[in-house]
Amino acid sequence: MKTVLVCAVQAPFIVGGAEILVGELCKNLTRRGFKTDVVNVPFKWYPVSELVRQGLAWRLLDVTESNGTPVDLVIPTKFPSYLVRHPRKVAWLFHQHREVYDLYGTAYCSFTESPDDQQTREAIQRMDTTALSECRRIHTISRNVADRLGQWNGLAGSPLYPPPQHLGRYRSDGFGDYLFYAGRLDRLKRLELPIEALARSGSRARLKIAGSGPVEGELRRQIERLGLQDRVELLGFVSDQALVDLYAGCRAAYYAPLNEDYGYVTVEAFLSTKPVLTTTDAGGPLEFVSDGESGIVTAPHADAIAAGIDRLFALPESRLRELGEAGRARVQDITWDHVIDALTEGL
């Protein structure tokens, strides 16, 4: 039996899509007959000088064998796990440390113009290029992640889309009166935009948001300030069954983070035969969502999103179904067997 180690990174007490994806990857590697385990090192991203030490911690690990049993394959996922050394390293890149790359110079970046911060940023870029160059192959969870890798590190990655957690359970129960978002309540998800847009919309659309995170308090205050308590629901954590049910009953999904790596919401909505409302700068969702074909794409500001909501809620169910079915066709070939075949090729 071949042995595979998945290298993961997790900030303690924070669980999101990446952590779910690692669990699903391990489960499906085991299903395919591989002896699988996870190497997980706690991650701390602040102050920025800490990032180099985090990378060095991975560089110092020996994962070539365990208790006399050789490790046949190592699959690193996101920064800085790919700094691990191994003779057979095949990356499935979730993302790099985006503050060094596409988020640098934005309001979402903690790096300053100080010489120390600039030195750290340059060191991380060199570390990334060196460590990822050691991989036998680099797969990425989206074309967007591959494009960043090519732009900033001069390395090629091939997109390998991950299936969502509840593959095979998604369904449609018709088209309700609400938009649905599921995921972490984080600043990069920009959930203030659809809430503001709802206040400017001429429709009576509602919005249901499932998840928790650091901006939950801000969102609650925004909802109260705009008087939207009867139209916006912050559901918090929901069960797996409730999640599937919420997709099944929504009119469409809303998903418009800033330059997202991939985004399960798009795929989950399409598997539920629902269109997706997103924005022109959302990144990963745009690999599947086309305006007027599988959803609605607007400019990333509240007035444009409000117009998109009105447009969406004016469509008859027959047209919504057409959009959802077009989306479903775009994601129906995303399977775990395809992922495992690609990651373990030649093993």
Residue 58 has pLDDT above 90, yes or no: yes
Tokens of 126: 């060199």
The Cα 245–Cα 292 span in angstroms is 25
Residue 72 pLDDT grade (very low, low, confident, very high; cuts 50, 70, 90): very high
Residue 270 pLDDT: 98
Residue 10 pLDDT: 85
Mean pLDDT of 169-194: 97
Tokens of 184: 């972490």
| Buried b or exposed e, range 137-171, using 16+ CB within 10 angstroms | bbbbbbbbbbebbeebbebebebbbbbbbbeebbe
Percentage of the chain modeled with pLDDT above 70: 100
Q: What is the pLDDT of residues 104-135, one digit of tens each?
A: 999 999 999 999 999 999 999 999 999 999 99
Q: Indicate the average pLDDT of the chain.
A: 96
Is-same-fold flag (3-160; 178-331)?
A: yes
Mean pLDDT of 280-299: 98
Mean pLDDT of 5-26: 91
Residue 17 pLDDT: 82
Residue 11 pLDDT grade (very low, low, confident, very high; cuts 50, 70, 90): confident
Q: What is the pLDDT of residues 256-271, one digit of tens each?
A: 999 999 999 999 999 9
Residue 255 near residue 288 (C-beta atoms within 8 A): no
| Buried b or exposed e, range 12-45, using 16+ CB within 10 angstroms | eeeeebbeebbebbbebbeebebebebbeeebee
Q: Which fold is adopted by the domain 178-331?
A: Rossmann fold (3.40.50)
Residue 224 pLDDT: 98
Judged by average pLDDT, the poorest of 14-23, 266-275, 286-295 is 14-23
Mean pLDDT of 326-340: 97
Q: Does domain 3-160 have CATH number 3.40.50.2000?
A: yes
Mean pLDDT of 320-333: 98
Tokens of 70: 């050789």
Q: What is the pLDDT of residues 230-248, one digit of tens each?
A: 999 999 999 999 999 999 9
Peptide bond into 47 cis (omega under 30): yes
Q: What are the residue ranges spanned by the domains of the chain? A: 3-160, 178-331
What does the DSSP 8-state code read for residue 161?
A: P
Number of neighbours of residue 328 by Cβ within 10 angstroms: 19
Mean pLDDT of 59-84: 96
Residue 16 pLDDT: 81
How many CA atoms, within 13 angstroms, populate the side-chain half-sphere of residue 159? 14
